[in-house]
Amino acid sequence: MSERVNPMIFVELPTTDPEAMSVFYAELFGWQVNRRPAGEFHEILPGMKPNLGIRRSDEPMTGPVPRVYVMVDDPPGYLRRAVALGAEVLWEETAWPEFNAHYAAFRDPWGAEICLWRDKGTYKPS
């Protein structure tokens, strides 16, 4: 085994509908989408690395799935927008004292779980 650190470079989500999933995340977060090719594999450019991939899968996501954490300035606001776009609330914004942060989460219409993270640098108590 190497002593070096191996960085994560990409996250890929399976979906039965890459176009709809791409539109969902473009509308929610303003992310850019490269369709490579359209309907099969879409590269999501969130503004900084790592990028996110959306790939066509004949099987919907089931069972335990990885969670993707996205830094936002207003978890409740993004959670409301996600629900309006068809997502299901996993939990409302709650504190995670160990990290001095707050977060909320949703399951998108294709089964991916997304945590909306607000850290100590962006957290503003109500």
Mean pLDDT of 77-98: 97
Nearest-angstrom CA–CA distance, 52 and 64: 19
Whether residue 108 has pLDDT greater than 70: yes
The domain defined by 10-118 folds into: 2,3-Dihydroxybiphenyl 1,2-Dioxygenase; domain 1 (3.10.180)
Taking CA atoms, 111 is separated from 15, 37, 87, 89, in Å, by: 8, 22, 9, 12
Nearest to 109 by CA among 75, 73, 84, 126: 84
Lookup: tokens for 43: 């590269």
Nearest-angstrom CA–CA distance, 2 and 123: 38
Lookup: tokens for 92: 């409302």
The string of pLDDT tens digits covering residues 40-54 is: 999 999 888 888 999
What DSSP string runs through 3-43? Answer: SS-----EEEEEES-HHHHHHHHHHHH--EEEETTTTTEEE
Whether residue 84 has pLDDT greater than 60: yes
Whether residue 126 has pLDDT greater than 70: no
- Delimit the domains of the chain by residue range: 10-118
Task: Check residue 3 and give its pLDDT.
Answer: 83
- 50 with 8: CB under 8 angstroms? yes
Task: Check residue 31 and give its pLDDT.
Answer: 95
Whether residue 21 has pLDDT greater than 90: yes
Confidence of residue 33 (pLDDT cuts 50, 70, 90): very high
Task: Check residue 2 and give its pLDDT.
Answer: 64
Task: Check residue 68 and give its pLDDT.
Answer: 94
Average model confidence (pLDDT) across the chain: 91
